[in-house]
Amino acid sequence: MSAGGTLVDLLSDCAARHGDRAALVFDDLTLTYSGLERAANRAARSFIRHGVRPGDRVAIWMPKSREAIVAIWAAMKAGAAYVAIDPAASALRALSYMRNCEVSALVTVPALGRALAEIADRRVGLNAVWYANANDDAHAIAGCLAVEWAEVEAESSQANEVSVAPDDLAAVQYTSGSTGTPKGAMIAHRTLVHQALWTRRELAISEHDRIGGYAPIAAAMSGFDLFVGVSAGASMYPVSARIAPFPGAVIKSWSEQRITICYLVPSALMMMLAQGRIHALDLSALRIVGFAGEAYPLARLRELMEHLAHVQFVHSYSRTETRIRSIHEVKFPPEESDVRRIGRVPPDCAMLVLDENQRPVRTGEIGELWIAGPAVMRGYWGQPEMTAQVIKKIAIGGAEVLGCRTGDLVRLCEGGAIELVGRADQQVKIRGHRVDLGEVEAALNRHPAVERAVVTVVAQPAGNELRAIVMIKAGAGADAAQLRNHCAAILPPPMIPAIIDFRAHLPLSPNGKIDRRALKKSAAVDQ
Amino acid sequence: MSAASVERQIREFILRGPRGTALRNLGSDDSLFALGALDSMGVVGLVVFCEECLGVEIADEELVPENFQSTGAIARLVCRSPRTNGAS
């Protein structure tokens, strides 16, 4: 398997070499690698039968399940890119993603299909909708064919004739953007294969590993669970939608399943530690805990490392747009630099620390992190201007490379190490989810009663929370519940403000902009 | 507060959520997780609703999937949970 292959090749190779090994263990049902290959072939044939063509997009909007994972592989086998959408997203938001990248097919469950049918009065543009776990009547969406999953099972399990190339898109992954316009990062097969093979090598992942898959399939982090195992013949144990909300139940199941590797956000690890009675569980099989996506409070990390003294802890850095998955091994006792240090990256990827004129900073200075190499996305779907703002040609030592800006501020340390310092923009992390404060503000400002809204982040013991400060229009009225419902219709759950305060006026800085620092200070006083 | 009334209030709470009217056929034993009706945030919101509006205290040990898999299961959990003082 060369680094230039596709994810489709990766699965076929794995099925040929490790056909009888467990690929997916889900709710006590095991699907082997040859079983996964056959199931994906059947679903790919069904997609093609109902109009999915190479270069299309297939949306997968449903809770994490066996069918959802089979559908991801099937979309790629049909030559399409998969577009995983958070099942908690409102129908309006799911529709905005589907319209943005013009998906030709959707795989969902009946309840979500109904939610979509209620708002999609005009033709959505879909050829067909597949209903997995259909235990009640599927609801017709105007202008598209409904296909029951049982029909998929009747297809031939032979591979289809479509050929997929390394530069073809494997996925379009949506992320929060400041304007409220959907930002779909286009990720090529080459990028995800490169990332999977690098991770396999650096963490010495083998067919004996059992990976606990915690990340939602719509999150970029799920690339670890979905693809690294396939590159090594390891088994993936996806955390089902049923137990995912209960961190104590997740860690207990990992003990029973003898999970060896997991890769997740610190907020999930902190909840497992708080609710999971880790000291009473047998976690002797666990060998690596990787964490990424947000800052890990040092005291909490130390506490978990004390409980799991035999485990290798790894701080990793990766973003939806730049799939680099760096590796920094944390030694006990962890230090502040351990939760900030980016660590090593693939030899063919470059990390550049640049000033605002895109010139390298000197050692000790802070700059913005840019990434170059195969880890970089192809751009945002249908947004050439937005793409041009983040992907630029950079001159480095006489050569020109295509770099992608991350928005992360980093310090270039002695010896070349790079440490995360903060953000260059208004992006924050809420329970590991990327949230652009500007997008939440834009949503609130769309409410007819809102004159102006400002959103800040408040640090709470359980993690960050969003706090909105709202000025209501003269003569209009809206309460916090109404504003929260308004947000829920257009924003995913992590972006709905937990606290909504009303103010008669908002503090302005001397240049007439809203003074965020003053607001933050007043938020601290309120508590 | 009867079990049936508790279950009705829980059902109404879930129908007010982002899935809203698309769940109007929700049955007492339907899996809320498989339907996408409840996720991590939803569970947190539901626990707050049970504690603040239904006047019971949900113990940490009860935060397990079995107790939240359907409106019927949640109603049974509420009915056996200790009542907080002063709740109606």
- Residue A351 counted as domain residue: yes
Helix, strand and coil content of chain A, in percent to the nearest 5, comes to: 35, 30, 40
Residue type, A28: D
> Both A441 and A413 in a single domain?
no
The answer to whether A343 and A317 are in contact (CB under 8 A) is yes
Name every residue whose Cβ is closer than 8 Å to that of residue B2 and which is 6 or more positions away in sequence.
none
Bridge partners, residue B27, by sequence: none
What whole-number distance in Å separates Cα of residue A242 and Cα of residue B30?
Answer: 12
For the ranges A38-52, A452-466, B58-72, which has the lowest average pLDDT? A452-466
Measured between beta carbons, the chain B residues lying within 8 angstroms of A91 are 22
Exposed / middle / buried, residue A414 (Cβ in 10 Å: 0-12, 13-18, 19+) = exposed
> Both A38 and A154 in a single domain?
yes
Q: Is the ipTM of this complex over 0.90?
A: no
What whole-number distance in Å separates Cα of residue A52 and Cα of residue A43?
Answer: 11
> Both A438 and A406 in a single domain?
no
> Both A396 and A455 in a single domain?
no
Among A288, A292, A285, which Cα is nearest to A223's?
Answer: A292
Order of all β-strands in the sheet with A210-213: A29-32, A22-26, A235-238, A210-213, A261-264, A288-291, A312-315, A328-330
Whether B43 sits inside 8 A of A245 (CB atoms) is yes
Whether B43 sits inside 8 A of A133 (CB atoms) is no
Domain CATH number, residue A368: 2.30.38.10
What whole-number distance in Å separates Cα of residue A341 and Cα of residue A286?
Answer: 23
Measured between beta carbons, the chain A residues lying within 8 angstroms of B16 are 485
- Residue A354 counted as domain residue: yes
Which residue in B21, B23, B39 is closest to A87 by CB distance?
B39
- Residue A13 counted as domain residue: yes
Residue type, A358: Q
Number of domains in chain A: 3
Q: Read off the pLDDT of residues A8-66 as tens digits, 9 standing for 90 and up.
A: 999 999 999 999 999 999 988 999 999 999 999 999 999 999 999 999 999 999 989 99
Q: Read off the pLDDT of residues A479-521 as tens digits, 9 standing for 90 and up.
A: 888 898 888 888 888 888 988 988 877 766 666 566 666 666 6
> Both A491 and A365 in a single domain?
no
- Residue A103 counted as domain residue: yes
Average confidence (pLDDT) over B6-17: 87
What whole-number distance in Å separates Cα of residue A147 and Cα of residue A106?
Answer: 10
The answer to whether A31 and A65 are in contact (CB under 8 A) is no
Among A82, A80, A129, A89, which Cα is nearest to A109's?
Answer: A129
Measured between beta carbons, the chain A residues lying within 8 angstroms of B38 are 245
- For CA atoms A303, A308, A310, A316, the dihedral sign is negative
- Residue A60 counted as domain residue: yes
What whole-number distance in Å separates Cα of residue B65 and Cα of residue A246?
Answer: 7
In this prediction, residue A475 carries a pLDDT of 85
Helices (H), A78-148: 91-100, 110-119
- Residue A287 counted as domain residue: no
- Residue A230 counted as domain residue: no
> Both A419 and A431 in a single domain?
no
CA distances from B86 to A131, B13, B56, B83 (A): 47, 22, 10, 9
Three-state secondary-structure class, residue A113: helix
Exposed / middle / buried, residue A111 (Cβ in 10 Å: 0-12, 13-18, 19+) = buried
Domain ranges of chain B: 3-80
What percent of chain A is modeled with pLDDT above 90?
A: 59
The answer to whether A245 and B40 are in contact (CB under 8 A) is yes
Rg of chain B over Cα atoms, rounded to whole angstroms, equals 12
Mutate to test the interface with B, among A114, A214, A217 (most CBs of B within 10 A): A114
Average pLDDT, chain A: 89
- Reported confidence tier of residue A247, pLDDT bands at 50, 70, 90: confident
In this prediction, residue A190 carries a pLDDT of 96
- Give the chain B residue whose CA is nearest to the CA of A249: B64
- Residue A469 counted as domain residue: yes
Among A304, A320, A356, which Cα is nearest to A429's?
Answer: A320
> Both A30 and A159 in a single domain?
yes
* A interface residues, B as partner, C-beta within 8 Å: 62-63, 65, 87-91, 109-112, 114-115, 118, 133, 136, 240-246, 248-249, 275, 431, 485, 488-489, 493-494
What whole-number distance in Å separates Cα of residue A458 and Cα of residue A527?
Answer: 10
Among A228, A287, A222, which Cα is nearest to A254's?
Answer: A287
Q: pTM score > 0.80 for this model? A: yes
Domain range for A74:
7-188+203-219
Mutate to test the interface with B, among A112, A131, A133, A487 (most CBs of B within 10 A): A112
Bridge partners, residue A471, by sequence: A452
Strand ranges (DSSP E) for A42-123? Answer: 57-61, 81-85, 105-108
The answer to whether B29 and B70 are in contact (CB under 8 A) is yes
Which residue in A63, A111, A488 is closest to B23 by CB distance?
A111
What whole-number distance in Å separates Cα of residue A445 and Cα of residue A454?
Answer: 9
What is the least distance, in Å, from the CA of B52 to any CA of chain A?
15
- Reported confidence tier of residue B88, pLDDT bands at 50, 70, 90: very low
> Both A392 and A435 in a single domain?
no
Q: Which CATH class is domain B3-80?
A: mainly alpha
Bridge partners, residue A458, by sequence: A465
In this prediction, residue A430 carries a pLDDT of 85
Pairing mode, strands A427-430 and A433-436:
antiparallel
> Both A114 and A16 in a single domain?
yes
> Both A21 and A157 in a single domain?
yes
Among A394, A446, A414, which Cα is nearest to A180's?
Answer: A446
Measured between beta carbons, the chain A residues lying within 8 angstroms of B40 are 244-245, 431
Torsion of CA A434, A435, A436, A439, to 10 degrees: 130
Q: Which of A423, A448, A482 is where one domain is finished?
A: A423
> Both A414 and A436 in a single domain?
no
Whether B22 sits inside 8 A of A115 (CB atoms) is yes
What whole-number distance in Å separates Cα of residue A62 and Cα of residue B35?
Answer: 8
Which residue in A63, A248, A494 is closest to B33 by CB distance?
A63
Domain CATH number, residue A26: 3.40.50.12780
Whether B64 sits inside 8 A of A246 (CB atoms) is yes
For the ranges A113-122, A238-247, A259-268, A385-394, which has the lowest average pLDDT? A113-122
The answer to whether A342 and A410 are in contact (CB under 8 A) is yes
